[in-house]
Amino acid sequence: MVRTGLDRLLAGECGDLLAGKRVGLIANPTSVDRGMVHAADALFERGHLKALLGPEHGIRGDAQDMVGVTSGRDARTDVPVHSLYGHTLESLTPSAEVLAEVDVLVYDIQDVGCRYYTFAWTLLLALRAAAQARVRTVVLDRPNPLGGLAVEGTGVEDGYTSFVGLHSVPVRHGLTVGELTRLVATREGLSDWLDVVPMSGWRRAMHFDATGLPWVQPSPNMPTLDTAFVYPGLCLLEGTELSEGRGTTRPFEIFGAPYIDGDRLAAALVDDDLPGVRFRPLVFRPTFHKFANESCGGLQIHVIDRERFRPLRTGVAILRAVRRLYPGHFRWREHPYEFVTDRAAIDLLGGGPWLREHVEAGTPLREVLTCWREAEESFSRERAPALLYD
């Protein structure tokens, strides 16, 4: 049985980490114990909770992607809620005034094991600010739902850090959020201000559905574990004008556009010999977001072998195929992305211009993959001291 950092904290297995301390909690709907008690409610009952800090999508998870979250008071506890995702870059970091109200920051959010997912970077920004204010940060660890073995992709080049990658780590990094934070804290000299409460019972080969823990969607468009498995590849579509399936019941598993013939696209992808996946042509009509209320042709991704499936490889293959088949329609996203206005969204997601340049040049997929190998091997060596689990 896997027990999360929150389960262990509430069971009194973590000494006096919170004894006599005013707690600021960074949380969202996933911050629940095995009995579905939310961390905010549990800490409030114990008299610790003095402030809530809400990341992207908010404490209760009701805001869509890239929608600013407001501050206020929590409806259940009446504790002040401070937004960590407003309308400016500065809003992503807790203020000195908020940190003056607490003695310790506690972070408890389910991650999805992908560099683009913003919650881990919310944690890093909070850790930086808390250390400057001489406030400790406690991370309650949770599983990497994709497991902790596979590493896929390159890091982030100088000049391309952003809220979808504040440090150079591969797209699929194979770390829990506690391990990832240990790694970046070491890089920045912040380790003395960080405590990680490890899980018990988790092993690196485990996927989330082997843990016995309940899946609570971490964000509005991450409804299932299947979504998390395809996300490292299909999130790349946020850097294009293709629909990534927002506004459907299977975001990131479904994608397309009004001009796409799903059968033609599926046939083109067969040539890329993508392991562990099948594509089903379909027509869908998003209820909001890109192409709202328009009929779109496209594909649904069906992962049939998680061990062999490589989501980033699949996402790159899809970009290459759509651009090759529909050069007159395919477009990169040009408007601002995650508070950045001077870099293309696809370059931020890719960690540099390399991906866009390869797709535009029609570079064979095998050559693109070769570019990743050295970065993957180097990162696998670097991450070793940060690992907490066998």
Is 201 found in the same domain as 136?
yes
Split into its structural domains, the chain has a count of 2
Is 248 found in the same domain as 201?
no
Phi first, then psi, for residue 256 (nearest 5°) are: 160, -160
Query: Do 18 and 206 form a contact (C-beta atoms < 8 A)?
Result: no
Is 185 found in the same domain as 43?
yes
Q: For each of the chain's 390 residues, which pLDDT tens digit applies?
A: 999 999 999 999 988 899 999 999 999 999 999 999 999 999 999 988 999 999 988 886 555 555 556 778 888 889 999 999 988 999 999 999 999 999 999 999 999 999 999 999 999 999 999 999 999 999 999 999 999 999 999 999 999 999 999 999 999 999 999 999 999 999 999 999 999 999 999 999 999 999 999 999 999 999 999 999 999 999 999 999 999 999 999 999 999 999 999 999 999 999 999 999 999 999 999 999 999 999 999 999 999 999 999 999 999 999 999 999 999 999 999 999 999 999 999 999 999 999 999 999 999 999 998 889 999 999 999 999 999 998
Distances (CA, A) of 108 to 54, 243, 357, 387: 11, 31, 38, 18
What pLDDT was estimated at residue 58? Answer: 81
Is 141 found in the same domain as 59?
yes
Is 313 found in the same domain as 208?
no
Amino acid letter at 260? I
Is 326 found in the same domain as 189?
no
Is 194 found in the same domain as 142?
yes
Residue 28 is part of a domain; what is its CATH number?
3.40.50.12170
Is 119 found in the same domain as 39?
yes
Cβ-count burial 271-294 (b if 16+ within 10 Å, e if not): ebebebbebebbebebeebbbeee
pTM, rounded to two decimals: 0.96
What pLDDT was estimated at residue 61? Answer: 56
Both tokens assigned to 106: 């506690």
Nearest Cα to Cα of residue 28 among 221, 218, 233:
218
Both tokens assigned to 127: 């850790």
Edge-first strand order for the sheet with 72-73 is 72-73, 80-83, 49-54, 23-27, 104-108, 136-140, 194-197
Is 175 found in the same domain as 149?
yes
Edge-first strand order for the sheet with 254-257 is 254-257, 296-303, 277-284
Distance CA 295, CA 284 (A): 6
Distance CA 300, CA 251 (A): 10
Distance CA 239, CA 331 (A): 9
Is 33 found in the same domain as 180?
yes
Is 206 found in the same domain as 113?
yes
Residue ranges making up the domain that contains 18: 5-216+381-386
Tens digit of pLDDT for each residue in 178-232? 999 999 999 999 999 999 999 999 999 999 999 999 999 999 999 999 999 999 9
What pLDDT was estimated at residue 390? Answer: 87
Residue 347 is part of a domain; what is its CATH number?
3.90.1150.140
Both tokens assigned to 231: 């996300």
What pLDDT was estimated at residue 59? Answer: 83
What pLDDT was estimated at residue 62? Answer: 59
Is 188 found in the same domain as 278?
no
Q: What is the bridge-based pairing of β-strands 104-108 and 23-27? A: parallel
- The answer for residues whose C-beta is within 8 angstroms of residue 38's C-beta and 6 or more apart is 27, 29, 31, 32, 76
Query: Do 103 and 135 form a contact (C-beta atoms < 8 A)?
Result: yes
What is the distance, to the nearest Å, from the Cα of residue 31 to the centroid of all Cα atoms in its chain?
15
How big is the CA angle at 170 (ends 95 and 129), to the nearest 5 degrees? 15
What pLDDT was estimated at residue 87? Answer: 87
